Amino acid sequence: MDLLGIALAIFGAAMAAGWAGAGSAIGVGIAGESGAGVMTEDPGKFGLVLLLQALPGTQGIYGLLIAFFAILKVGLLGGGAEVTVNVWQGLAIFFACLPIAVGGYYSAIAQGKTSAASIQMIAKRPEETGKAVILPAMVETYAVLSLLMSIILLNGIKL
Amino acid sequence: MAPAEQYGYAVARLRAMSGRLLEEALLLRVLECEDLESAIKVLGETVYSGWLMELKGIGEFDKAIEAELLHVFEEVHKFVPDAALVELCRLPYDFHNVKVLVKGTLLVREGGERRFDLLTKLGNIPVDDLITAMETEDYRLLPFGLHRLVPGCFTVWEQSRDVLELEKLLDEGLFEAMRLGAEASGVESAVLWVRARIDAENVRSLLRLKRMNVETSAAAGYLHAGGLISKDRLLSVFTEPPESWAKLLAFADVSSILSGVQDGADLNATVVGLEKVLDEYVGAVLESSKYDAFAPGNVMSFLWKKELETKNIRIALVSVSNNTDRTLARGLFRHVG
């Protein structure tokens, strides 16, 4: 087993889980601050605020998913047969993890800001809840595209 | 200035608080009441109920309005990242208190009495501290440049014996303190807001002076520097008839409010109506903040709307109390969106 290849694959998995998770933490934090502001004045909006605050959290889950795929592929999980990963294959896995790492990080922050604005929107116009959920959900599209790309690239790597 | 991200909590809370600003429909209900008692009863359905219950008599409604505004100032001061923005909004009340106390001191010298009832708690400086400073003549610790202005007022009085000179000096000091405060806060919209307030005050002064047929040279002393339109530019239009001011100042936003000045002969009615338009003009410079979930301008915008709300309530209650023309009062309501 080529240790450098494995190391690169693990680095890719760590990037996917770490950056997407960090983006989600920032995004959920931004939305949470707005949520706390609204609930200080109107605690009855907890349900709606929670939904909007949770939206930027999905990127962290996507990153974790790709990290699992990556380490499963190199045989570090699942107790399967030992897999040989050369440097180029390790590098390929690393690059395959990048779309969700980068896309997840930035989209989670952007979604957090949109969620915060939507939370402010329902504070003033509770009747517009549907629209308030759609706006941050639009940002999710690009996180899903990043996830999809990472899955396709990982599946395309032959070990 | 605190980073914009820190405004997430504050702006969200202010958005929720703005839902409790009184709508015009409620103000119209107040206005339709036959007497002050029923008007106060309608107002009792709002956030003012707590303060109204503490009143000794319905005639003291102004205390309830002041208490609510003070409560909002103090509450917002606690959670905004830049407390200087709230201080900026409260600054005119400090200068109002100083005017009352300076004039009171002069009245006492002439054998009159002080009017402590005219003081307001809405300023940044505690009223007791201000009274103590005035009575002990120890102005050293007064902030916002008042340590220089107050002794300056007494000097000016000794030289001119003209209350208007004191007013001019203190107004100049107020706008200077507001400008410095806004610039120190680093909030661009705050600077713009102060400049718009100076413009509004200058336009108000110009129209009043025009109504009084004051000479251009005398009018110059009543204008304040630091607005979006220079003093020289404003003075150059002063000699022209008021109905042409909008065209002459077409390059500035303030021209939109002057477009309502159609008849130079009816300046009395114009000046009354202009108060409303000028207030809305000052608020309008902060309107773009509402499109940004993290803009500090939202803090000032909310506080300005709250002040306009209190003005609206005063207009409605005074109209009911004095049984004046309700249509006129309705026309004076500021838009609080």
**Domain regions of chain A by residue span:** 3-156
- For A77-104, how does the pLDDT look when each residue is reduced to its tens digit (9 = 90+)? 877 667 888 999 999 999 999 999 999 9
Nearest CA in chain A to B10: A37
Q: Is B9 within 8 Å of A113 when comparing Cβ atoms?
A: no
Nearest-Å Rg of the Cα atoms of chain A is 19
Name the average pLDDT for chain A: 92
Task: Please tell me which of the candidates B9, B13, B293 has its beta carbon nearest to residue A113.
Answer: B293
Which among A142, A19, A5, A12 has a CA at the least distance from the CA of A69? A12
CA B191: distance to chain centroid?
16
All residues of chain B having their beta carbon less than 8 Å from the beta carbon of residue A36 are 9, 12
**For residues A107 and A103, what is the distance between their CA atoms, to the nearest angstrom?**
6
* Contact at CB, B13 and A37, closer than 8 angstroms: yes
Give the mean pLDDT per block of 10 residues along chain B (337 residues): 79 91 91 90 90 84 92 94 93 95 89 86 93 89 91 91 89 94 92 92 86 82 87 84 77 73 61 80 87 90 94 92 87 81
CB atoms within 10 A of CB B172: 17
Identify the band that residue A107 occupies on the pLDDT scale cut at 50, 70 and 90: very high
| C-alpha to C-alpha distance for B210 and B219, rounded to whole angstroms | 9
CB contact under 8 A, B18 and A119: no
Residues of B in contact with A37 (CB under 8 A): 8-16, 79
**Domains of chain B from N-terminus onward:** 83-184 (1.20.1690)
CA–CA gap between residue B226 and residue B231 (Å, rounded): 8
B8: chain A residues, CB-CB within 8 Å: 30, 33-34, 37, 116
Which of B5, B12, B79 is facing A120, going by the closest CB pair?
B12
pLDDT, tens digit, for every residue of B131-162?
999 889 888 889 999 999 999 999 998 898 88
- Does B8 contact A41 at a Cβ distance shorter than 8 Å? no
Residue matched to tokens 């003291």: B60
Residue B34 vs residues B27, B43, B61, B324, B332: alpha-carbon distances, Å: 14, 14, 16, 11, 19
Over 80: is that where the pLDDT of A33 sits?
yes
- Asked if the A3-156 domain carries CATH number 1.20.1050.10, the reply is no
User: What residue in A sits closest to B293 (Cα-Cα)?
Assistant: A117
Contacts of B79 in chain A (CB under 8 A): 37
Which of A40, A42, A120 lies at the smallest CB-CB distance from B11? A120
Residue B101: count of CB within 10 angstroms of its CB: 23
Of B5, B12, B79, the CB nearest to A38: B12
For residues A102-124, give the mean pLDDT.
Answer: 95
- List the single best residue of B6, B9, B21 to mutate versus A (max A Cβ within 10 A): B9
Contact between B11 and A40 using a beta-carbon 8 Å cutoff: no
